[in-house]
Structure 1
Amino acid sequence: MKLLLTKLVLLLFVFQAVSIQMAQAQFLMDMVDTTKDVGKGLLSIYKKYDHIKIGGYIQSQYQQVEAKGAKSFEGGDFATNVDNRFMLRRGRIRFDYVHFSNNTKPSVQFVFQFDGTERGVFIRDFWGRVFENNLKLFSLSTGMFARPFGYELNLSSSDRESPERGRMSQILMKTERDMGAMISLEPRGRNNWLHYVKIDAGLFNGQGLAATADYDSYKDFIIRANAKPFHLNKSLLFSTGISYLNGGFIQNNKYVYNIATVNGVTGFTEDSTSSKVGTRLPRKYYGADAQLKWLHANNSATELRAEYWWGTQTANASSTETPAVLLTEPYYIRPFNGAFLYLLHSFDKHNQLGIKYDWYDPNTKLSAGEIGQANGSKAADIRYNTMGAGYIHYFDDNLKVVAWYNWVNNEHTQLSGYTNNVKDNVFTLRMQYRF
């Protein structure tokens, strides 16, 4: 009985050591007698789990919207009779494991992250990575992970200043993640300019986590090349990147609508060519982004971020989201563009003000006055502009509060329900706990 209690105490001792710095863990292990059976068992556990990291965060928030039942991209639509709500926006726990070969070089990384809220529990990351250690240049990632497109899309929700990503990224890259494989060029251990280069290129199913399974054989090719932050001078940091997605999905019926101008009239025209059934419908995105940070005295800083996307999206008449299942209704092909712009000022390491402007124009060939009159035009063709502003207070590395207000403006069209601005401005007050 005494031996069993000793084992349990020592086991708890070691697992507590896993959660703190490795140097401290090594110090604790030095106090275990590894010449005895119990000590040898604990040493093997320590060696196996000493590179595990557990982290996560909880975002609880209160929101107020202008009108009951408003549609929103600030955490989802409001229920029919609701104009204010408490909600758990995200509850993430992430497990990272890294194995080092010869105790010096990372050889394998494994990541598992799930999201738990009042709406259920969902997997967000489940992937592995293999490192190449001869040239120290490459790695291969496979599984479920974030698509390497753009800057805001890959900025963690725990680090992002605004409560949510822009409308365009939520629609075109819903849940941000997908199943796929990716090769990364990211030099390690170099002191020259290559240290600032990162290139990711991969193949993905294309539907993202909105789909339960892949429904065709077509894959999305995505590549992103970026320069990591580097000093232009002592006070200016600059980074930039470009992104490209070439993908699509199967056309399983013959009805496709393209936007065109015929005899001076713009509208959707039908293409019902039967021979095109089984071919790939297009999804092509292009992106460019840049970030400039101006460092001031007393830990203050001003940062400007700019990101622009444009391309072609195929979806249906009522939405520009990539379909999660094969459609039985006609397909609609639209040219789009949009942007995300941030202006941030940190007064010190605790207080920050932010302004964000984003727009998403799902159909750049239709003007506001044509929507509702042009053949086939729907609410999915309406451009939205969102101006947001907020205050962020960082109590410490583990706790922050965000107060943010979004002014959401839609085009005034000829379409019923959208002849004027819809009342969907949202205020968000969020508390984030991080560990």
Structure 2
Amino acid sequence: MKNFLVFACFFLPFVVLAQNNNAPSSYDPHDIKITGYLQTQFQVAQSPGINSWSGGDFSEHSASRFMLRRGRLKVDRVDKFSSVVFQLDGTQDGLRIMDAFIQFHNPEDKSLLFTAGLFNRPFGYSIVYSSGYRDFPERARVFQTLMPRERDLGAMISYKPKKILPFIVAELAVVNGSGLNAKDYDSNKDIIGNFNFRFDSLANKKMQLGFGASIYKGTVRSNTTTVFKPTDNGFSSATDAANEDYNFRRDYYGANLQVGYKNSFGATSFKTEYIQGKQPGVAASASISGLAASTSFSAQPTGNLYLRNFNGYFFWLTQQILDTKLTAIVGYDVYDPNTDVDESEIGVAGSNTTAGDIKFSTLGYGFTYALNGRLKLTVYNEHVKNDGTQLPNYQSDIKDNVFTTRLQYRW
């Protein structure tokens, strides 16, 4: 990771920023404007009742389903000095708030923005990039785990000097750390820093190049006197009265890269993002699946904390087919919630390891077809793989592949 960050810093002046979703539809002054998109899809799982990051877990006896994946309705208004954004998400599970924030800006150039409310965590590339424009059905497993539903409550300062250095964007946010839940379970606040550059017109306006680096500094409160700390082959328990009410570190470090090029056989894009750090979690149990054991918590975690070192990354490649509306897509992502153990050591007696420590990788491939300027079809197949462990239900690869076909309408 150190070499990766050195590479990132060396090439920092030559990078591009992803589209940021923490903004109104336009900064030009306007009265109420309504935008949004609807995603409806059909999915087939390899086995009934699987745990999945492809739209959520399947029901116990079901291996196929129709569902509304996202139904976003965004309302915004912009005047000379400020703007307000309010976004709802409606699916078969009900209606919920996705964004609700107010921004203040300099009426002359809008280079300095102050945002307060509920907004996307300004970390990396994929978290802030709108699901309505992303070619791939879902974000990588590692980001869904660490930052579920992407949003948090807090305040943020953004610097975008469009007149002086139009290729720079810097963001600094202070958030609860508990996501959309306003009832934060400790008094500490988390800090997020994001720094990006962008160049959209390289190589005779055929090339786009982007790069950025992010940091997340936070904590998770312990509710018990016992915590489990990582060792070379598992965890060792540590019981101390001082552990209760102690805030253990939750730190992430990330870097991202995007390259796009318009060529004679269609537009090509390559995107990648890497993240590593420390994530307090819990042990997998009958009530908490292995996939959820290292999820960031929206409420006070019950039980003993497991302090894990993790890493994860994704590669996304898209290729437009000649000058058509058809685009081929290939993605690969990895999430290792515990980099201190090998899969063969998980489940060994005395190691204190559980299904929450298993590494997963996902290879996906498919295509998108733009039926018109608003309607898009996506067909995508995911092969999810894990190595065998010594745990009873995880001695070989779980049968949890997922096929998705989706229609999206955007307005």
TM-score normalised by the chain length of structure 2: 0.88
Deviations 1:277-306 (A, max 9, x none): 3221110000000001111147x2111111
| 1:304 corresponds to 2:273 | no
The answer as to 2:189 corresponding to 1:219 is yes
The answer to whether residue 251 in structure 2 is matched with residue 284 in structure 1 is yes
Query: Which of 228, 234, 237 does residue 267 from structure 1 map onto?
Result: 234
Match of 2:325 in 1: 350
Distance, in Å, in 1 between the alignment partners of 2:215 and 2:351 is 31
The CA distance in 1 between the partners of 2:30 and 2:302, in whole Å, is 52
Q: Which structure 2 residues correspond to residues 147-296 of structure 1 after superposition, within 5 A? A: 147-188=121-162, 190=163, 192=164, 194-209=165-180, 211=181, 213-234=183-204, 235-261=206-232, 266-296=233-263
Pair 345,126 (structure 1): closer, same or farther in 2 beyond 3 Å: same
The 1:258/1:52 distance shift into structure 2, 3 A limit, reads: same
Greater mean alpha carbon deviation, residues 130-139 or residues 273-282: 130-139
Q: Structure 2 counterpart of 1:284, which letter?
A: D
CA contact (8 A) 2:222 2:304 kept: no
Are residues 383 and 394 of structure 1, via their aligned partners in 2, closer, same or farther at CA, if it must alter by over 3 Å? same
SS of the counterpart of 1:380?
helix
**1:328 to 1:50, Cα distance in 2 relative to 1, 3 A:** closer
Deviation at residue 50 of structure 1 after TM alignment? 4.2
The Cα shift of 1:272 comes to 1.4
Q: Could you tell me whether the CA contact under 8 Å between 2:75 and 2:86 is conserved in 1?
A: yes
3-state SS of 2:271 partner: strand
1:253 aligned partner, one-letter code: T
The count of corresponding residues between Structure 1 and Structure 2 is 374
2:34 is the alignment partner of 1:54: yes
Q: CA deviation at 1:137?
A: 2.5
Contact preservation (8 Å) 2:229, 2:237 = yes
**1:41-100 deviations in whole A, cap 9, x for unaligned?**
xxxxxxxx9432211111010000111111111111111111111111111100011012
**Larger Rg, first or second structure (1 or 2):** 1
Please tell me whether the aligned partners of residues 162 and 390 of structure 1 are also in contact (alpha carbons under 8 angstroms). no
- Residues of 2 paired with 1:75 and 1:81: CA distance? 17
Identity of aligned residues (%): 37
Query: What are the ranges of 5 or more consecutive residues in structure 2 without an aligned counterpart?
Result: 1-25, 285-292
Aligned partner (choices 372, 376, 394) of residue 396 of structure 1: 372
- Contact residue 226 and residue 243 of structure 2 kept, 8 A: no
SS at match of 2:127: helix
2:94 aligned with 1:120: yes
What residue is the counterpart of 1:329 in the other structure? 303
State the Cα deviation string for residues 214-241 of structure 1 (Å, max 9, x = none): 1111111000000123344223210110
Which has a greater percent of helix? Answer: 1
Distance 1:349 1:247, change over 3 A: farther
Specify the SS of the correspondent of 2:177: coil
State whether structure 2 residue 55 is matched by structure 1 residue 81.
no
Residues 217 and 251, structure 2, Cα contact 8 Å, conserved in 1: yes
CA RMSD of aligned residues (A): 1.7
- Select the residue among 392, 396, 405 that pairs with 1:420: 396
Cross-structure match for 2:8? none
| Aligned residue type for 1:86 | F
Query: Residue type of the partner of 1:294?
Result: Y
What is the Cα deviation at residue 340 of structure 1? Answer: 1.1
Structure 1, unaligned runs of 5 or more: 1-20, 24-48, 101-106
In structure 2, C-alpha distance between the alignment counterparts of 1:349 and 1:141, rounded to whole Å: 40
Query: Matches of 2:391 and 2:302 in 1, distance apart?
Result: 25
Amino acid aligned to 1:213: K
